[in-house]
Amino acid sequence: MNKLRITGMALDETQYLKQINSPEDLRKLPPKELIKVCTELRDFIISSVSCNPGHFGASLGVVELTVALHYVFNTPYDKIIWDVGHQAYGHKILTGRRDRFHTNRKYKGISGFPSIFESEYDAFGVGHSSTSISAALGMAVAAQQKGEDRQIVAVIGDGAMTAGLAFEGLNNLAATKANVLVILNDNNMAIDPNVGGFSDYLVDIATSRTYNKLRREVFKALQKFNIGGPRSREMIIKINNSIKTLLTRQTNIFEGFNIRYFGPVDGHDVERLASVLKDLKEIKGPKVLHIITKKGKGFKLAEENQTAWHATGKKFDPHTGRFLEPSSNKPKPPKFQDVFGHTIIELAKQNNKIVGITPAMPTGCSLNLMMQQMPDRAFDVGIAEQHAVTFAAGLAIAGMVPFCNIYSTFMQRAYDQVIHDVALQKLNVVFCLDRGGLVGADGPTHHGAFDLAYFRCIPNMTIASPMDESELRNLMYTAQLPNQGPFAIRYPRGVGSLINWQTPFEEIKIGTGRKLADGQDLAFLTIGPIGVKVARIVEELQEEGITAGHYDMRFVKPLDEALLHEIFSKYKKIITIEDGTIVGGLGTAVLEFMSDNHYYATVHRMGIPDRFIEQGTQTELARDCGFDMESIRNTARKMAKES
């Protein structure tokens, strides 16, 4: 492999970056020095992420844009909204967090995404996507109301423009005179390549050589006659849009929204970008600047394999790109997402009604395996969770069995569609909720804390969480059987516990749990993979003379009432444990059952408390939430001693 273009330089070896403690320092430099700033900033990001893994390709792709924005605009008075948030590493480094960047995504460190609680330069918190235009419009209208001459910039990219919310914001923006600049960072990628007509449309605009050549000739002619001023600018814009419409044989979608469009512009020419942004500052009202960038720019492997280098889960050599963590030949349990990916293929071969759906996460949820083997039966619908759910409903009402795989935290965006389009009509849509529970370094925007609670109150829903990989397979098998209705299967990020996980399929009776251990002193009621840890704790407590029953509830809706009657008839001390919010989750369901059936027992609920949890490792965060193994052991010991 050829050596990659990266020096891995330390901060004290930089000429410019070490002097930039805020954007004010950046603005003191002459424009010609910005190229060198970009080189140092890109190298700093590569060197940092090689030691502290995190999102990678997206921030490398916007280095020049980041520098140009902070050079031209008076941040933080002027507002920059990054959408999606993992584009913002360079922004963080230039805005006073350079010396803390080594704590990025770590417990008690800085967030991997913009956070209004972290810096005044982070204008709006964003972890997912497509919120920037709506938020920017709100800020711009507020500035107008208060008489502030404030610039508002929304940087939307990495697939975020494929979501309906972005177009809702664009539609509303067009009906105003709000001073908003939307920068469309067009790299034709989310995590995986963008899909859909809008992506193709942007490619048509960007690659029309005839258009770009003719546009340059028109601009030169106008400049030759010294045509300037606001009216002339408007004329140029109209000519620009008309040429584009003629040569691409499409109406410019932004012109259709009555929003002035500029571009496409090379997003890696920092001096040109700065010049364009200065001109756009003088043009009031809504406008779009279309820039073309390459995700992973400046790191060869990230440019060539943008999906794999979207985020680095391991440390790597910044010179060669070789991952540094030693590999082991010892068999390891699979990731839950891979169990899903292989199992849906097995089921689809048996049941020709099964199809797979994901909103822009085929690699993240492993539906890419089905897309490779069965491309006509697996669909990436773009960053569009609401559409994904109603698309699944349409398939289901026509007799198909859609498996709709959406990260738990992103399913929240489609809550109304789940209620009205699926549950109300009792349609057999199987929701596979990946990343349920604490996800780790991605932090509060990505934790799947609320799914058990927010689904439990919806009629007609079946809600389950497997303790291990074999249970996941059997729940998926059960969910695709006839007349099952809306069915949610929730599982965590990371690996499971079984080496030999490809067990034969078995139907699981809906609403049944299972007793894993009998005891006398107290009972553990668990749901999901936390049960594997509790099973070990039960064995450890027995060595201390504490005998605990252990029940894998498996379903939070419907509850196994027969099993609960057995539990409350025998035990007066009960601990419920879930990797989800304790407000409305399994523990709450158990308390409701106890009250409704007039049982009396001491019930201690363990899970995610009623607050947003920051970033860190899953182990650190479980300890912070009070349901790590030591906390569970101590709680059991204390309860066992109480009279």
Active-site residue, 224 included? no
Active-site residue, 315 included? no
Q: What pairs with residue 403 in β-bridges?
A: 356, 430
> Which candidate, 466, 509, 455, 510, places its Cα nearest to that of 343?
466
Q: How far is CA 455 from CA 359, 429, 476, 602, 608, in A?
A: 19, 14, 18, 26, 17
**Residue 184: both structure tokens together:** 């469309």
Angle separating helix axes 63-72 and 270-281, nearest 10 degrees: 40
Q: Which amino acid is at 38?
A: C
Pairing of strands 602-608, 378-380: unpaired
Q: What pairs with residue 81 in β-bridges?
A: 154
Q: Residues 6 or more apart from 198 whose CB is under 8 A from it?
A: 161, 162, 253
Catalytic residue among 385, 469, 471, 620: 385
> What radius of gyration do the chain's Cα atoms show?
27
Residue with tokens 């990797």: 579
Torsion of CA 600, 604, 608, 609, to 10 degrees: 90
Element (H, E) at 433: strand 430-434
Euclidean distance between CA atoms 524 and 527, whole angstroms: 10
Active-site residue, 118 included? no
Torsion of CA 94, 95, 99, 103, to 10 degrees: -110
* Cβ(567)–Cβ(523) below 8 Å: yes
Residue 120: count of CB within 10 angstroms of its CB: 11
Catalytic residue among 295, 377, 473, 554: 295
* Cβ(571)–Cβ(517) below 8 Å: no
Pairing of strands 462-464, 555-557: antiparallel
How many Å separate Cα 344 from the centre of its chain? Answer: 23
Concatenating the DSSP letter of every residue in 308-377 gives: TTSB-SS-B-TTT--B-SPP--S--PPBHHHHHHHHHHHHHHH-TTEEEEESS-HHHHTTHHHHHH-GGG
Q: Where are the beta strands (DSSP E) in 187-272?
A: 260-266
Catalytic residue among 42, 335, 377, 413: 413
Q: What pairs with residue 550 in β-bridges?
A: 517, 524
Enzyme catalytic residues: 295, 385, 413
